[in-house]
């Protein structure tokens, strides 16, 4: 799967799969070696948001679009709350060499940005062939390595790749989430104005951080919410002490069943107390577990910004952003839990709601704006449920 080199040069990076396959290329970004699961992302834009999405923790992202890096990098487009921890993807694979940035918002080159975050990059390989391999064989455990000397102990890297257990059974939320509570008030970006702070909150939302993205919090703040971000191990009592109008369960990395070991009891208690609950991605999967459904590892996962999803509550089809390697088993939804969204690519579950309760969730990322705003209504749906719950309590 090696790509054609533009000039004769020495191999400085390799991808070693757990089956022993070795793919040679040229290194960018940080040097070193690290294990991860190899997936592919079909988005044409937004590489900085992708690489800083905490849901990609311990993953190596193969970009199917060949030219990555043209717009450089900046300080506004990262999505993780704790960028100093570099809690997004551990590796990135590109078809073409990273070029010099050409964009008015660029604050620096992608190569330097990758180095600063500790992300190992590999260029110059046939990413279409690697994508086809993943589609056929499934997402692969691997080691990505970069050395400017071109010296690699391939047998040792093969052993590391084979020994790494992968994401099944792995709780990663604690590695990427905030360590203590914090208040979020920043609202969405506006052309020529940038970000602002919401002045007069109408709602108080507790966001349980399993690896949340900044734009999720911005969209809620933009609708008038003061958002209290809390660590993933928070208890229901600690959440309710803030007297929230609603609770948001965020996206995040790893196996939902593993994170659910401590999160599910908390979620069940909130549901039992009729607290409005909205979940996205990992939050959707753990809500499903709390309601009695099951989750399962996917063959190749969903990673991209061109996924069609149907909302059965409106009858509309949305083009959405996806990033998940686990899914809710649709046939495991218990009585009283209704499927609200479904992928039109493979028929997998992408949303649910609980009958008689102000509780719902979606698998996709409505904040990522691929449509560009096809799914923003979901945030308003959450606040409509909050208003209905307030009215019911006042009656």
Tell whether the model's pLDDT for residue 1 goes beyond 70.
no
User: Which of 135, 163, 191 is a domain's end point?
Assistant: 163
In a domain, 6, yes or no: no
What pLDDT is attached to residue 369? 78
- Segments forming the whole domain that contains residue 277: 173-394
Burial tier of 118 (Cβ tally within 10 Å: 0-12, 13-18, 19+): middle
**Domain CATH code at residue 97:** 3.50.30.20
Active site positions, annotated:
281, 365, 367
**Distance of alpha carbon 162 from the chain centroid:** 25
Is residue 147 domain-shared with residue 18, that is, in the same domain? yes
**Which range is least confidently modeled, 71-85, 112-126, 211-225?**
71-85
What pLDDT is attached to residue 3? 45
Is residue 151 domain-shared with residue 184, that is, in the same domain? no
Is residue 261 domain-shared with residue 152, that is, in the same domain? no
Which residue, among 106, 54, 45, 120, has the nearest Cα to 83 in the 3D structure?
Answer: 54
Is residue 323 domain-shared with residue 287, that is, in the same domain? yes
* Percentage of the residues of the chain whose pLDDT score is greater than 70: 97
**Residues contacting 119, CB < 8 A, separation 6+:** 29, 30, 51, 86, 88, 89, 90, 91, 92
Which residue, among 4, 26, 5, has the nearest Cα to 15 in the 3D structure?
Answer: 26
* pLDDT tens, residue by residue, 121-139: 999 999 999 999 999 999 9
Q: How far apart are CA 391 and CA 40, in angstroms?
A: 45
In a domain, 388, yes or no: yes
Is residue 364 domain-shared with residue 238, that is, in the same domain? yes
User: Which of 97, 130, 163 is a domain's end point?
Assistant: 163
**Which range is least confidently modeled, 6-15, 152-161, 199-208, 345-354?**
6-15
Is residue 125 domain-shared with residue 227, that is, in the same domain? no
Binning pLDDT at 50, 70 and 90, where does residue 293 land? Answer: very high
**CB atoms inside a 10 Å sphere around CB 181:** 15
Q: Round the CA-based radius of gyration of the chain to a whole number and report it.
A: 21
In a domain, 3, yes or no: no
User: Which of 131, 163, 195 is a domain's end point?
Assistant: 163
In a domain, 1, yes or no: no
Segment 261-281 shows an average pLDDT of: 98
Tell whether the model's pLDDT for residue 160 goes beyond 80.
yes
* Percentage of the residues of the chain whose pLDDT score is greater than 90: 91
3-state secondary structure of 199: coil
Token reading at 298: 């996917």
Is residue 223 domain-shared with residue 266, that is, in the same domain? yes
Binning pLDDT at 50, 70 and 90, where does residue 151 land? Answer: very high
Tell whether the model's pLDDT for residue 365 goes beyond 70.
yes
Binning pLDDT at 50, 70 and 90, where does residue 94 land? Answer: very high
Mean pLDDT of the chain: 95
Cβ–Cβ < 8 Å for 176, 54? yes
Tell whether the model's pLDDT for residue 351 goes beyond 70.
yes
**In sequence order, what DSSP letters do the residues of 138-164 get, joined into one string?**
-SEEEEEEE-TT----HHHHHHHHHH-
What pLDDT is attached to residue 301? 97
Is residue 198 domain-shared with residue 263, that is, in the same domain? yes
Q: How many domains does the chain have?
A: 2
What pLDDT is attached to residue 6? 45
Is residue 99 domain-shared with residue 182, that is, in the same domain? no
């Amino acid at each position: 799967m090696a790509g054609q080199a533009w000039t004769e040069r020495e191999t400085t990076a390799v991808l070693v799969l757990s089956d022993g396959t070795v793919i040679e290329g040229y290194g960018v970004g940080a040097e070193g070696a690290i294990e991860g699961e190899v997936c592919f992302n079909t988005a044409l834009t937004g590489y900085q948001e992708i690489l800083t999405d905490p849901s990609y923790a311990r993953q190596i992202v193969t970009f199917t679009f060949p030219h990555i890096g043209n717009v450089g990098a900046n300080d506004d487009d990262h999505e993780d709350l704790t960028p100093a921890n570099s809690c997004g993807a551990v590796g990135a694979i590109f078809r073409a060499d990273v070029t010099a940035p050409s964009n008015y918002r660029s604050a620096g080159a992608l190569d330097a940005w990758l180095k600063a975050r500790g992300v190992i990059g590999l260029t110059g390989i046939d990413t279409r062939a690697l994508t086809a391999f993943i589609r056929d064989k499934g997402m692969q455990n691997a080691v990505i390595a970069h050395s400017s000397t071109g010296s690699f102990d391939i047998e040792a890297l093969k052993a590391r790749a084979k020994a790494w257990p992968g994401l099944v059974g792995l709780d990663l939320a604690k590695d990427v989430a905030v360590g203590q509570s914090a208040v979020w008030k920043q609202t969405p970006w506006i052309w020529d104005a940038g970000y602002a702070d919401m002045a007069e909150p109408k709602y108080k939302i507790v966001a349980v951080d399993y690896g949340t993205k900044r734009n999720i919090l911005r969209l809620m703040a933009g609708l008038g919410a003061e958002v209290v971000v809390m660590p993933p191990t928070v208890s229901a009592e600690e959440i309710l002490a803030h007297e929230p109008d609603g609770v948001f369960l965020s996206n995040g990395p790893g196996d939902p069943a593993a994170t659910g070991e401590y999160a599910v009891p908390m979620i069940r208690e909130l549901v039992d107390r009729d607290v409005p609950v909205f979940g996205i991605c990992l939050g959707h999967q753990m809500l499903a577990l709390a309601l009695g459904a099951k989750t399962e590892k996917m063959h190749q996962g969903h990673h991209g910004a061109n996924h069609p999803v149907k909302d059965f509550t409106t009858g509309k089809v949305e083009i959405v952003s996806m990033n998940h390697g686990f899914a809710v088993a649709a046939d495991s939804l218990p009585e009283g839990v209704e499927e609200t969204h479904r992928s039109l690519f493979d028929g997998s579950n992408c949303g649910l709601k609980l009958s008689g309760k102000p509780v719902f969730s979606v698998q996709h990322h409505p904040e990522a704006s691929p449509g560009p705003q096809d799914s923003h209504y979901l945030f308003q749906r959450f606040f409509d449920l909050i208003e209905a719950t307030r009215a019911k309590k006042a009656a």
